[in-house]
Structure 1
């Protein structure tokens, strides 16, 4: 057990591996999470996963509707925390709170800051065809993902990684990496350093509309978008007012001289579609709206593909 009181801010299941490590290794004095809310088709009460963990482990947990409430600041001052950790809390933490702990409040971000600041660092890295990204432990400041950096670890992006697979690897590594970083902070073995704002890039949240295929883009760009937008929102196109989701595809080595969106070939191996810069995308698995996954060839047995996809 590491000496020093710690406060955790978090809401979603993404933060659970980190929360579990903190609970095992630190004196966890308080968990702050979002209020329960009603959602889903049946408007059922949804309890944050972080709160569920707190209840199951009999840890003190509060759910303030507004972080500017003076009661929360008073509670934190009584604890006199050495540090606070925020992971996927879902709301901006005011300076009166994040600056209160002795080592202030740190966050875990899934990019090598200052690149890909924002809500979708993994998606944007894959969309841009990056071969490397990683984890940054940094101090929260008044600007989004712009605070001083404590530590970083590079993690390679594999050619077939999707957002789902890469986030899983990042999540598995984030907890032990944060634990190691916290121990180094407390022992004085590392120092934080400011980010170079001139190198900063943004990673805005993904919109559902971005999943619609633009056949004018090169095949590699579409393949990278498929990886980036898996599992959500996916990559899809329309066929007679029906949405067709692309589940698997690859960049063909072939070249075409037709129109973008033109179907070049269809057989049991896949569907070849002409894309921008004379490149070709080979689609091997699709899911029509409301149906199970199938190959384009299976779909064509009961449906007709047009010569040109829109």
Structure 2
């Protein structure tokens, strides 16, 4: 098929590579304009642009894809289909109507769940056990189009937003290559989404990483995983930011069976360090206890709790806020 591909971040690169590998003709790659990055503040190409340059593909970088001259240029490409993956701009109905097979989107959730910008983080924050990728026929709404094909995977207990991002990135690449010939042959039946089951998710902000110790240990453990690698879950220890990179939730009953737990009253206020061992420490929460396994104090390197405790004196009764 003759394809116009629209994408910008790392998530969008494997689908482009897979479509090229499968023999599809990529007539153009549309990506966001170069943006300043790093200390040099020099404009840098998106990961998708770098991939397109490597394959010597035609590149378009419109500030606004809705502009009339951009729309005319897209029409001249005479593509069979537009494939979109985390492009970063909303397509107008005029753009959606250009290719004969319409526009399809690679979305990192099982729609209609988690329409929007941060489906990978949100499924972990909510403690979901499964997620997946949806190939969707795009319409003018935000991830509201008909479902063409989906693929589900389990969310492992140690998955973070980062590890799940990688899994879904490659799953999306495989699924779009599977879907394209079926779309061309008319073998996929579009299924309307059930709007009553829809959930939405906005962008992740740095403030969302702040730990509320009055939440349950389980909810905080989801936060730690869902905010990894960005913006990270964080708290304060003696006036310094402390990032928590890995943690495990214990119920009060489970915690009471651990060595040393008997010295804790079990009624410590949320955020209180209730047990310190040579290899880790435990913090009381609104419900249950959180074991801290990997962390990073402001100005220091990321390290496991055992290494941290070798160089920092932490005592039961100290508080995180």
Given candidates 5, 10, 16, the residue that maps to 1:13 is: 10
Given candidates 178, 185, 188, the residue that maps to 1:187 is: 185
Q: Could you report, residue by residue, the CA deviation over 1:122-148 in whole angstroms, capped at 9, with x for unpaired residues? A: 111001110011000002211111111
SS at match of 1:243: strand
Q: Could you report, residue by residue, the CA deviation over 1:138-186 in whole angstroms, capped at 9, with x for unpaired residues? A: 0221111111111111111111111111111111221111111111111
Match of 2:320 in 1: 309
Given candidates 238, 241, 254, the residue that maps to 1:240 is: 238
Q: Could you report, residue by residue, the CA deviation over 1:92-123 in whole angstroms, capped at 9, with x for unpaired residues? A: 12211122111111101111000111111011
Structure 1, gaps ≥5 residues long: none
Scaled by the length of structure 2, the TM-score of the pair is 0.90
Given candidates 31, 55, 58, the residue that maps to 1:57 is: 55
Q: Could you report, residue by residue, the CA deviation over 1:185-244 in whole angstroms, capped at 9, with x for unpaired residues? A: 111111111111000011221111111111101111111111111101111111222101
SS at match of 2:70: helix
SS at match of 2:49: helix
1:214 aligns with 2:212: yes
RMSD: 1.6
Q: How many residues align?
A: 306
1:288 aligns with 2:297: yes
Q: Distance in 2 between matches of 1:112 and 1:294?
A: 35
Structure 2, gaps ≥5 residues long: 257-265
In the TM superposition, 1:244-263 aligns within 5 A as 244-252=242-250, 253-254=254-255, 256-263=266-273
Q: State which drifts further: 110-119 or 245-254.
A: 245-254
C-alpha displacement of 1:53? 2.0
Does the 8 A contact of 1:266 with 1:296 survive in 2? no
Q: Distance in 1 between matches of 2:304 and 2:10?
A: 33
Match of 2:39 in 1: 41
**Would the alpha carbon gap of residues 263 and 37 (structure 1) be closer, same or farther in structure 2, given more than 3 Å must change?**
closer
SS at match of 1:281: strand
C-alpha displacement of 1:43? 1.0
Match of 1:32 in 2: 30
Q: Distance in 2 between matches of 1:302 and 1:58?
A: 53
Given candidates 267, 270, 279, the residue that maps to 1:269 is: 279
Q: State which drifts further: 178-187 or 25-34.
A: 25-34
Does the 8 A contact of 1:266 with 1:297 survive in 2? no
**Would the alpha carbon gap of residues 294 and 70 (structure 1) be closer, same or farther in structure 2, given more than 3 Å must change?**
closer
Scaled by the length of structure 1, the TM-score of the pair is 0.94
Q: Distance in 2 between matches of 1:299 and 1:55?
A: 44
